[in-house]
């Protein structure tokens, strides 16, 4: 699991259009990578739309936003269109990247234990170094903290 001050491990995932995306494709730009449990659910929509609403300001300061979840690319594309999300959504259907980044783990709902996505975000600088990490964060806090870290 990458920590603040460490180089973010590279990965390759498919986006909502089925195109391959590498984290290293964005060297030279700052990146907000946010992990969300499921496209179209209330908390995930709040987080994703928060980043959508902040996107013009972020983009003008050389920031890229990427969402990551275990959803299939087709489900992400449908959600992206519905919510007019201006950034890529990455499909980690086998949750290997989510596990590597510490955003996959045991959760509890109404006393039942299960494994799933732990809502999180990371901010990565132009050199690929993690400068902010928020694990198990509320949707609105995720957006506010990422924007604050970036000074946007």
Query: In angstroms, what is the C-alpha Rg of the chain?
Result: 14
The length of the chain, given as a count of residues: 152
Instruction: Write out the catalytic residue numbers.
Output: 44
Beta bridge partners of 22: 12
| Greatest CA separation for the chain | 45
**CB of 66 within 8 A of CB of 88?**
yes
Question: What residues contact residue 99 under an 8 Å CB cut-off, 6+ apart?
Answer: none
Which two structure tokens, joined as six digits, stand for 49? 């739309």
């Amino acid at each position: 699991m990458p920590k603040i001050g460490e180089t973010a491990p590279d990965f390759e995932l498919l986006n909502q259009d089925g195109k391959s995306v590498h984290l290293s494709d964005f060297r030279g730009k700052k990146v907000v990578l946010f992990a969300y449990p499921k496209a179209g659910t209330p908390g995930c929509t709040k987080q994703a739309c928060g980043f959508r609403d902040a996107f013009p300001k972020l983009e003008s300061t050389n920031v890229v936003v990427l969402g990551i979840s275990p959803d299939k690319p087709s489900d992400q594309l449908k959600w992206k269109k519905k919510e007019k999300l201006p950034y890529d959504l990455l499909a980690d259907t086998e949750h290997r990247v989510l596990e590597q980044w510490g955003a996959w783990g045991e959760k509890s709902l109404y006393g039942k234990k299960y494994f799933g996505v732990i809502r999180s975000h990371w901010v990565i600088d132009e050199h690929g170094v993690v400068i902010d990490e928020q694990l198990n964060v509320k949707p609105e806090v995720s957006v506010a903290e990422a924007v604050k870290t970036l000074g946007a």
